[in-house]
Each structure stands twice: as C-alpha cells, then as structure tokens.
Homo-oligomer: A and B are copies of this chain.
C-alpha cells in the first residue's frame, strides 16, 4: 500500500456489517475532516458489503456534525441487493454519535454497457502550466488546512483571485487536480475529488466555512489515468443556503463524476 489515500481510507471489517477506520489528520480543514475524504472512506467500506458490487454509482450523504481525525466506526446496512445493483446505507459514528449518514447504490462499473452519448462539453481550462498551484498558498493557510497538502491542485487563475482578496464574483472554482503522490484516480478517489476544493462561496467574496447539509455524488465510470479537471459552481444562493454543482472530467475527456450539494451560506463578513 504505497499511497497515502489508500492507507487513510483503509477500513477493518469487524463483523458482517461493521467496519472501523482511523481518520487521518492530514485530511483536516480547520480542525474538521474533509467531507470528500469521509465519503471515500465510507465508500470503501460499502464496496465490501454487496458481493459483486464493489463500486459507488450514486451516493447521498447527510452531514450531521463535524467528524474529526481519529478512530471511527462505520455501521452498514443492506437495504436491497438484487439484480445488478444494491442499495446500501452506512452511518459513520464517533464517540457514539452519528456524524454522517449515507445511502448509496452500488454496482460494478466495469460491467456497464459502453454507450456514451454525453452532450455536455468540458469547461474551458487554461493549460496546466498557466494555472496557480495550491502549493503557493501561504504557510499559515496550509497549516490551517493540511488537506491542501494531499493534492497537486492547479487553479484556473480566472477564479483564484479570492486567494489574494480579489474574488471574481462568479461563484466558480475550477482547476486540474490529482493526488499529490500521483496515485491514479479510481471510483473511490472520485468521491474525494467531488468535495475536495474550497467552497465556491470563496469566489463570491465569502471566505467562511460553508457547512454541507447534503451531497449527492454520481460516479459514471472508472476514470482514465492522469490529471482530472474539476469545476465547482453555484447558481442559486438564496435564503441562507446555496447549491454547489461539481463536475469531474477525466483525461480521456469523459464526464466521469458529478455532484450537487446544498450548503449553508457562510456568515457575511
């Protein structure tokens, strides 16, 4: 197990339905564990529950309270396992309290038919070398967000002005992303990538924490090796909440994963 992502999402099966995990402090942002990392860890456990159905296809998760680095228990439940897909559930529990509750459809992505009729086109993104590496973030930011050290993230400079106090006001953040140790993407790491970037509200000049109420992820295939292109966007900030849509395109130009979350707006400055 050479890659930190694999080490850190590892789960140990305790009995037929229960797994334990050790949540890594390297995935923290401001003292709470990143939601995408939690999703990948829970997703890893769920992949072992239904025989022949190792892959997440749809995952819906409700974030109840912040999870923190350290031991966690993942309690799974099979709602229905029939045909080519299974509907599964999981709670991630710390200190006797559920932190996240997940429902998911699992199947075998490699067994799906080959048809692709995608009409969406990938978002325009400057070449890698013209993007802003997140490693350029100030030391104090990287100390507050160890998560940033897990990725090689190159932000589109058109929507990265928030990092220097000049948000574009569009509600968009996009860039190139891969794991820092160049571990290749797979369905579980796609769950991470769908919720790895800062909230799009940064680009609206709202730098605070934006707690997610719910996030639904679709994983539409096994990603090709190489860099992923990721784009987050919000179009409906209203009534103290905003939706955030994310698309992930792989190196073979496939729209390989999508997510939408509803989050609470950061408190105004």
Contact = CB atoms under 8 A, between A and B. Distances in A.
A115 B238 contact: yes
Interface string A162-174: 0000000011000
A58 B87 CA distance: 19
A4 interface: no
A212 to B, nearest CB: 10
A236 B79 CA distance: 27
Interface residues of A, number: 49
A238 B98 contact: no
A87 B237 CA distance: 21
Contacts of A76: none
A133 B247 CA distance: 35
A216 B216 contact: yes
Given A87-B64, A258-B243, A238 B213 contact: no
Interface in A238-263: 238-241, 243, 254-255, 258, 260, 262
6 contacts: A57-B213, A85-B213, A103-B214, A109-B239, A113-B239, A115-B239
